[in-house]
Amino acid sequence: MVDHKKKNNAVLVIGLGRFGAATAGQLDRLDREVLAVDTDMELVQKWSERVTHAVQADVTNIDALKQIGAEEFSTAVVAVGSSIEASVLITANLVDLGIPDIWAKAISKSHGQILTRIGATHVIYPEAEAGERVAHLLSGQMLDFVELDTDFAIVKMYPPQAIQNKTLAEAALRRDYKITVVGVKKPGGSFVYSTADTYVEARDQIIVSGHPDDIEKFASLEK
């Protein structure tokens, strides 16, 4: 059981499957107070020493949420994905309790639309997002890919041959490729912000921003 006082920095995580457990674990590493909830006692016991609090409860029942003090949280994560019905019921219960910031996992577009309509403030598609990220990384040039919006992404990659052994001013990336190099890392070093005078070599790593399609074309250039 948790103390019944306002928990502005605490997060309620419901569901301790892979996504929920990863979220709860990372929050704990960030020194956030976490109340993790699952119906599976074995998972609850596993995580009881890894997060601030872990309890067993069937929170498809709003009374169970009240008993664990869920209404005292400002932020909740609904990480239940195997049962759409349970996910929807839990999210609706959290909305009824007046929790202002609700992050809910969806396994399909229709599932996500339902969650949004009943009041989830953020809908997450972890499987779809992971699949899209992997598809981009399969090009071989990209080391990491983050799509911030449909028309903007940030990518860590190796520099194509077209810009090797040149300064960024000489490479004319915005003019020729419509992308921007925002950081460069030398072998054994750390990333530093780039300038027009930054010299790029074959073994460097670069951080590129721009439209995903433009980045894909840039990454497809000969290495």
Burial tier of 38 (Cβ tally within 10 Å: 0-12, 13-18, 19+): buried
* DSSP 8-state secondary structure symbol assigned to residue 83: -
pLDDT-based confidence at residue 131 (cuts at 50, 70, 90): low
Rounded CA gap, 6 and 180, in Å? 44
Rounded CA gap, 90 and 208, in Å? 40
* DSSP 8-state secondary structure symbol assigned to residue 28: H
pLDDT tens track for 7-26: 568 999 999 988 899 899 98
Rounded CA gap, 151 and 178, in Å? 12
Q: Alpha-carbon Rg of the chain, whole angstroms?
A: 22
Fold: same for 7-124 and 130-219: no
Confidence (pLDDT) at 191 = 92
Angle of helix 84-96 relative to helix 109-118, nearest 10 degrees, comes to 20
User: The CATH number of 130-219 is which of 3.40.50.620, 3.40.50.2300, 3.30.70.1450, 3.20.20.70?
Assistant: 3.30.70.1450
Q: For the chain, which residues make up each domain, given as ranges?
A: 7-124, 130-219
Residue 148, classed as helix, strand or coil, is strand
Burial tier of 57 (Cβ tally within 10 Å: 0-12, 13-18, 19+): middle
12 against 223, higher pLDDT: 12
Confidence (pLDDT) at 49 = 86
Homologous superfamily of the 7-124 domain (CATH): NAD(P)-binding Rossmann-like Domain (3.40.50.720)
Burial tier of 156 (Cβ tally within 10 Å: 0-12, 13-18, 19+): middle
Whole-structure pTM value: 0.67
pLDDT-based confidence at residue 2 (cuts at 50, 70, 90): very low
pLDDT-based confidence at residue 130 (cuts at 50, 70, 90): low
Q: What are phi and psi of 13, to 5 degrees?
A: -115, 120
Amino acid making up residue 200: V
CA-based end-to-end distance of the chain = 57
Q: Which residues of 63-91 are buried (b: 16+ CB within 10 A; e: fewer)?
A: ebbeebbbebbebbbbbbbeebebbbbbb
